Structure 1
Amino acid sequence: MSENVLDNTASSVLETGQGESFWLLGDFYSIKTSSAQTAGAYSITEIQSFPGNGPPPHIHQREDECLYIVEGAFSIILGDRVFDVADGDFVRISKGTPHTYRNVGAIPGKMLVVLSPGGFERMWAELGQPGSVNQPPKDDPSSLNRLLALAPGYGLEICG
Protein backbone atom coordinates (compact mmCIF):
# COMPACT_ATOMS: atom_id res chain seq x y z
CA MET A 1 0.00 0.00 0.00
CA SER A 2 1.34 3.45 -0.79
CA GLU A 3 0.75 6.54 1.32
CA ASN A 4 -2.77 7.81 0.74
CA VAL A 5 -2.62 11.58 1.06
CA LEU A 6 -4.88 13.73 -1.11
CA ASP A 7 -3.86 17.06 0.37
CA ASN A 8 -2.22 18.30 3.55
CA THR A 9 -5.41 18.07 5.64
CA ALA A 10 -7.01 15.00 4.04
CA SER A 11 -7.38 11.66 5.75
CA SER A 12 -4.41 9.36 5.25
CA VAL A 13 -3.07 5.90 5.92
CA LEU A 14 0.58 5.27 6.77
CA GLU A 15 2.09 1.82 6.81
CA THR A 16 4.93 0.82 9.10
CA GLY A 17 8.00 2.85 8.24
CA GLN A 18 6.12 5.66 6.50
CA GLY A 19 6.16 9.29 7.60
CA GLU A 20 8.84 11.98 7.65
CA SER A 21 11.70 10.21 9.46
CA PHE A 22 15.03 11.30 10.88
CA TRP A 23 17.59 10.65 13.62
CA LEU A 24 17.82 12.99 16.60
CA LEU A 25 20.06 12.64 19.67
CA GLY A 26 20.58 8.94 18.95
CA ASP A 27 16.90 8.03 18.49
CA PHE A 28 14.79 7.50 15.37
CA TYR A 29 11.75 9.77 14.91
CA SER A 30 8.91 9.31 12.43
CA ILE A 31 6.21 11.99 12.19
CA LYS A 32 2.91 10.20 11.66
CA THR A 33 0.64 13.25 11.72
CA SER A 34 1.98 16.79 11.54
CA SER A 35 0.40 19.99 12.80
CA ALA A 36 0.04 21.03 9.15
CA GLN A 37 -2.34 18.09 8.68
CA THR A 38 -4.44 18.95 11.77
CA ALA A 39 -4.77 22.73 11.35
CA GLY A 40 -2.31 23.05 14.25
CA ALA A 41 -4.41 21.05 16.71
CA TYR A 42 -1.87 18.28 17.40
CA SER A 43 0.95 16.16 16.04
CA ILE A 44 1.81 12.48 16.55
CA THR A 45 5.37 11.20 16.30
CA GLU A 46 6.69 7.68 16.77
CA ILE A 47 10.05 7.53 18.53
CA GLN A 48 12.24 4.45 18.55
CA SER A 49 14.49 5.02 21.54
CA PHE A 50 17.65 3.01 22.08
CA PRO A 51 18.94 1.74 25.45
CA GLY A 52 20.16 4.57 27.67
CA ASN A 53 18.77 7.29 25.42
CA GLY A 54 16.37 10.11 26.19
CA PRO A 55 16.21 13.89 25.94
CA PRO A 56 17.65 16.28 28.50
CA PRO A 57 15.16 17.38 31.19
CA HIS A 58 12.95 20.08 29.70
CA ILE A 59 9.71 22.07 29.92
CA HIS A 60 7.24 22.71 27.10
CA GLN A 61 5.72 26.16 27.64
CA ARG A 62 3.12 25.79 24.84
CA GLU A 63 2.19 22.11 24.50
CA ASP A 64 0.65 19.34 26.54
CA GLU A 65 2.45 16.09 25.75
CA CYS A 66 1.25 12.50 25.92
CA LEU A 67 3.44 9.40 25.70
CA TYR A 68 1.98 6.01 24.82
CA ILE A 69 4.54 3.24 25.34
CA VAL A 70 4.17 0.80 22.46
CA GLU A 71 7.02 -1.42 23.61
CA GLY A 72 10.00 -1.26 25.89
CA ALA A 73 10.85 -0.04 29.38
CA PHE A 74 11.22 3.63 30.22
CA SER A 75 11.85 5.73 33.29
CA ILE A 76 9.78 8.91 33.19
CA ILE A 77 10.55 11.90 35.39
CA LEU A 78 7.66 14.33 35.97
CA GLY A 79 8.71 17.18 38.23
CA ASP A 80 10.24 15.46 41.26
CA ARG A 81 8.51 12.09 40.72
CA VAL A 82 9.90 9.06 38.86
CA PHE A 83 7.70 6.48 37.16
CA ASP A 84 8.69 3.18 35.55
CA VAL A 85 6.53 2.50 32.50
CA ALA A 86 6.38 -0.24 29.88
CA ASP A 87 4.26 -1.72 27.08
CA GLY A 88 0.77 -0.19 27.00
CA ASP A 89 1.36 2.47 29.66
CA PHE A 90 0.27 6.06 29.05
CA VAL A 91 1.69 9.32 30.42
CA ARG A 92 0.09 12.78 30.15
CA ILE A 93 2.39 15.75 30.75
CA SER A 94 0.80 19.17 31.24
CA LYS A 95 2.61 22.13 29.71
CA GLY A 96 4.91 23.79 32.21
CA THR A 97 5.89 20.47 33.83
CA PRO A 98 9.62 19.64 33.97
CA HIS A 99 10.08 16.16 32.52
CA THR A 100 12.22 13.68 30.63
CA TYR A 101 12.38 10.00 29.82
CA ARG A 102 15.11 7.40 29.49
CA ASN A 103 15.03 3.99 27.83
CA VAL A 104 16.01 1.76 30.76
CA GLY A 105 15.59 -1.50 28.85
CA ALA A 106 18.21 -3.65 27.14
CA ILE A 107 16.49 -3.31 23.74
CA PRO A 108 15.08 -0.45 21.68
CA GLY A 109 11.74 0.86 22.93
CA LYS A 110 9.00 2.52 20.94
CA MET A 111 6.54 5.23 21.94
CA LEU A 112 3.95 7.46 20.33
CA VAL A 113 4.24 11.12 21.32
CA VAL A 114 1.19 13.37 20.96
CA LEU A 115 1.74 17.11 21.28
CA SER A 116 -1.17 19.55 21.50
CA PRO A 117 -1.22 22.04 20.02
CA GLY A 118 1.02 20.84 17.23
CA GLY A 119 4.03 22.57 15.76
CA PHE A 120 6.80 21.40 18.07
CA GLU A 121 7.49 18.45 15.74
CA ARG A 122 8.94 21.00 13.30
CA MET A 123 11.81 21.63 15.73
CA TRP A 124 12.58 17.91 15.83
CA ALA A 125 12.55 17.79 12.02
CA GLU A 126 14.76 20.88 11.82
CA LEU A 127 17.31 19.33 14.19
CA GLY A 128 17.16 15.77 12.92
CA GLN A 129 19.36 14.06 10.36
CA PRO A 130 17.59 12.17 7.56
CA GLY A 131 18.08 8.43 7.45
CA SER A 132 16.41 5.09 7.90
CA VAL A 133 16.05 3.12 11.11
CA ASN A 134 18.61 0.62 9.79
CA GLN A 135 21.18 3.27 8.86
CA PRO A 136 21.95 5.71 11.66
CA PRO A 137 23.99 8.75 10.68
CA LYS A 138 27.39 9.53 12.11
CA ASP A 139 27.30 11.23 15.51
CA ASP A 140 26.63 14.96 15.24
CA PRO A 141 28.29 16.71 18.20
CA SER A 142 26.59 19.99 17.25
CA SER A 143 23.07 18.59 17.87
CA LEU A 144 22.89 19.70 21.50
CA ASN A 145 24.15 23.21 20.68
CA ARG A 146 21.61 23.51 17.85
CA LEU A 147 18.88 22.30 20.22
CA LEU A 148 19.83 24.97 22.77
CA ALA A 149 19.77 27.64 20.05
CA LEU A 150 16.37 26.62 18.63
CA ALA A 151 14.61 25.84 21.93
CA PRO A 152 13.46 29.37 22.89
CA GLY A 153 11.74 29.87 19.52
CA TYR A 154 9.66 26.72 20.16
CA GLY A 155 8.79 27.58 23.77
CA LEU A 156 11.15 24.89 25.08
CA GLU A 157 13.17 25.36 28.23
CA ILE A 158 16.08 22.97 28.82
CA CYS A 159 16.47 22.36 32.57
CA GLY A 160 19.77 22.20 34.42
Structure 2
Amino acid sequence: MEKGQTMSEALSEAQKLGIAEADPKGDLSGMDAAVKVVALCAAFQLGEPVVQLKEVTVSGMEEVTLEQVRSMRSSGRKLRLVGGAEVSADGGRATARVMLEALAPEDPLYGLDGADTALTLYTDRLAPVTITQKGSTVEDTAFGLFADMVRACRPETCV
Protein backbone atom coordinates (compact mmCIF):
# COMPACT_ATOMS: atom_id res chain seq x y z
CA MET A 1 0.00 0.00 0.00
CA GLU A 2 3.00 2.27 0.44
CA LYS A 3 3.35 2.17 -3.35
CA GLY A 4 -0.15 3.63 -3.68
CA GLN A 5 -1.92 0.29 -4.07
CA THR A 6 -5.25 -0.58 -2.51
CA MET A 7 -5.32 -3.30 0.16
CA SER A 8 -6.58 -5.76 -2.46
CA GLU A 9 -3.79 -4.92 -4.92
CA ALA A 10 -1.08 -5.02 -2.25
CA LEU A 11 -2.39 -8.32 -0.94
CA SER A 12 -2.43 -9.85 -4.42
CA GLU A 13 1.19 -8.78 -4.97
CA ALA A 14 2.24 -10.13 -1.55
CA GLN A 15 0.61 -13.47 -2.36
CA LYS A 16 2.44 -13.66 -5.71
CA LEU A 17 5.73 -13.01 -3.89
CA GLY A 18 4.95 -15.68 -1.29
CA ILE A 19 4.83 -13.13 1.54
CA ALA A 20 1.12 -13.54 2.24
CA GLU A 21 -0.73 -16.84 2.50
CA ALA A 22 -3.24 -17.93 -0.16
CA ASP A 23 -5.86 -17.41 2.56
CA PRO A 24 -4.68 -14.11 4.05
CA LYS A 25 -7.01 -14.05 7.08
CA GLY A 26 -4.20 -14.95 9.49
CA ASP A 27 -1.87 -12.35 7.99
CA LEU A 28 -4.45 -9.56 8.02
CA SER A 29 -5.98 -10.36 11.40
CA GLY A 30 -2.58 -10.48 13.10
CA MET A 31 -3.05 -14.08 14.24
CA ASP A 32 -0.04 -15.36 12.26
CA ALA A 33 2.08 -12.72 13.99
CA ALA A 34 0.55 -13.68 17.36
CA VAL A 35 1.62 -17.30 16.85
CA LYS A 36 5.18 -16.10 16.19
CA VAL A 37 5.14 -13.91 19.30
CA VAL A 38 4.05 -16.89 21.42
CA ALA A 39 6.81 -19.03 19.85
CA LEU A 40 9.40 -16.37 20.61
CA CYS A 41 8.13 -16.03 24.19
CA ALA A 42 8.61 -19.78 24.60
CA ALA A 43 12.06 -19.70 22.96
CA PHE A 44 13.20 -16.88 25.22
CA GLN A 45 11.42 -18.40 28.22
CA LEU A 46 9.61 -15.12 28.87
CA GLY A 47 7.42 -15.11 31.91
CA GLU A 48 6.23 -17.90 34.14
CA PRO A 49 4.15 -19.52 32.86
CA VAL A 50 4.83 -18.67 29.21
CA VAL A 51 2.09 -16.66 27.51
CA GLN A 52 -0.56 -18.63 25.61
CA LEU A 53 -2.01 -17.69 22.21
CA LYS A 54 -5.45 -16.98 23.68
CA GLU A 55 -3.84 -14.39 25.99
CA VAL A 56 -2.28 -12.30 23.21
CA THR A 57 -4.04 -8.98 22.54
CA VAL A 58 -4.46 -8.87 18.76
CA SER A 59 -5.55 -6.00 16.55
CA GLY A 60 -5.01 -6.64 12.86
CA MET A 61 -4.81 -4.58 9.72
CA GLU A 62 -7.95 -5.68 7.88
CA GLU A 63 -9.42 -2.18 7.92
CA VAL A 64 -6.33 -0.19 6.86
CA THR A 65 -7.12 2.21 4.04
CA LEU A 66 -4.92 3.77 1.41
CA GLU A 67 -5.82 7.15 2.91
CA GLN A 68 -4.40 6.09 6.29
CA VAL A 69 -1.17 4.93 4.66
CA ARG A 70 -0.87 8.20 2.73
CA SER A 71 -1.56 10.21 5.89
CA MET A 72 1.17 8.34 7.76
CA ARG A 73 3.60 8.82 4.89
CA SER A 74 2.90 12.58 4.76
CA SER A 75 3.67 12.79 8.48
CA GLY A 76 6.93 10.87 7.97
CA ARG A 77 5.67 7.67 9.56
CA LYS A 78 4.89 4.14 8.36
CA LEU A 79 2.14 1.80 9.50
CA ARG A 80 3.45 -1.63 10.51
CA LEU A 81 1.87 -4.64 12.19
CA VAL A 82 4.11 -5.15 15.22
CA GLY A 83 4.16 -7.99 17.72
CA GLY A 84 5.72 -7.65 21.14
CA ALA A 85 5.94 -9.06 24.63
CA GLU A 86 6.94 -7.70 28.01
CA VAL A 87 7.75 -9.42 31.26
CA SER A 88 6.81 -7.82 34.57
CA ALA A 89 9.67 -6.34 36.59
CA ASP A 90 9.61 -9.29 38.98
CA GLY A 91 10.11 -11.73 36.08
CA GLY A 92 6.59 -13.07 36.44
CA ARG A 93 3.81 -13.08 33.91
CA ALA A 94 4.50 -11.95 30.34
CA THR A 95 1.99 -9.95 28.33
CA ALA A 96 1.96 -10.08 24.54
CA ARG A 97 0.31 -8.08 21.80
CA VAL A 98 0.09 -7.64 18.04
CA MET A 99 -1.12 -4.29 16.77
CA LEU A 100 -0.79 -1.73 14.05
CA GLU A 101 1.75 0.94 14.99
CA ALA A 102 2.72 4.24 13.40
CA LEU A 103 6.51 4.07 13.31
CA ALA A 104 8.81 7.09 13.18
CA PRO A 105 12.00 7.01 11.06
CA GLU A 106 14.17 6.45 14.14
CA ASP A 107 12.32 3.22 15.01
CA PRO A 108 14.46 0.17 14.14
CA LEU A 109 11.45 -1.41 12.38
CA TYR A 110 10.78 1.60 10.15
CA GLY A 111 13.09 0.47 7.33
CA LEU A 112 11.60 -3.01 6.96
CA ASP A 113 10.09 -3.80 3.58
CA GLY A 114 8.13 -6.67 2.10
CA ALA A 115 9.27 -9.95 3.61
CA ASP A 116 11.82 -8.40 5.99
CA THR A 117 11.50 -9.40 9.64
CA ALA A 118 13.14 -8.09 12.78
CA LEU A 119 13.40 -8.69 16.48
CA THR A 120 14.30 -5.89 18.89
CA LEU A 121 15.38 -6.83 22.39
CA TYR A 122 14.98 -4.31 25.21
CA THR A 123 16.72 -5.09 28.47
CA ASP A 124 17.52 -3.25 31.67
CA ARG A 125 21.26 -3.53 30.95
CA LEU A 126 21.74 -2.89 27.24
CA ALA A 127 20.63 -0.39 24.66
CA PRO A 128 18.03 -1.94 22.34
CA VAL A 129 19.46 -4.69 20.12
CA THR A 130 17.75 -5.30 16.77
CA ILE A 131 18.26 -8.38 14.63
CA THR A 132 16.91 -8.15 11.09
CA GLN A 133 16.39 -10.67 8.35
CA LYS A 134 16.13 -9.17 4.88
CA GLY A 135 13.91 -10.83 2.30
CA SER A 136 12.62 -13.78 4.29
CA THR A 137 11.57 -16.69 2.11
CA VAL A 138 8.53 -18.88 2.42
CA GLU A 139 10.71 -21.51 4.11
CA ASP A 140 11.89 -19.08 6.78
CA THR A 141 10.04 -18.70 10.04
CA ALA A 142 10.60 -16.24 12.85
CA PHE A 143 10.96 -19.08 15.29
CA GLY A 144 13.69 -20.86 13.32
CA LEU A 145 15.92 -17.82 13.02
CA PHE A 146 15.65 -16.69 16.60
CA ALA A 147 15.56 -20.13 18.22
CA ASP A 148 19.04 -20.75 16.79
CA MET A 149 20.23 -17.52 18.37
CA VAL A 150 18.71 -18.45 21.73
CA ARG A 151 20.36 -21.88 21.65
CA ALA A 152 23.69 -20.26 20.82
CA CYS A 153 23.43 -17.82 23.72
CA ARG A 154 22.11 -19.89 26.59
CA PRO A 155 24.06 -19.09 29.76
CA GLU A 156 25.85 -22.45 29.72
CA THR A 157 27.11 -21.90 26.15
CA CYS A 158 27.82 -18.14 26.08
CA VAL A 159 31.36 -16.96 26.50
TM-score for the superposition, normalised by structure 1: 0.27
Q: Which has the larger radius of gyration?
A: 2
TM-score (norm 2): 0.27
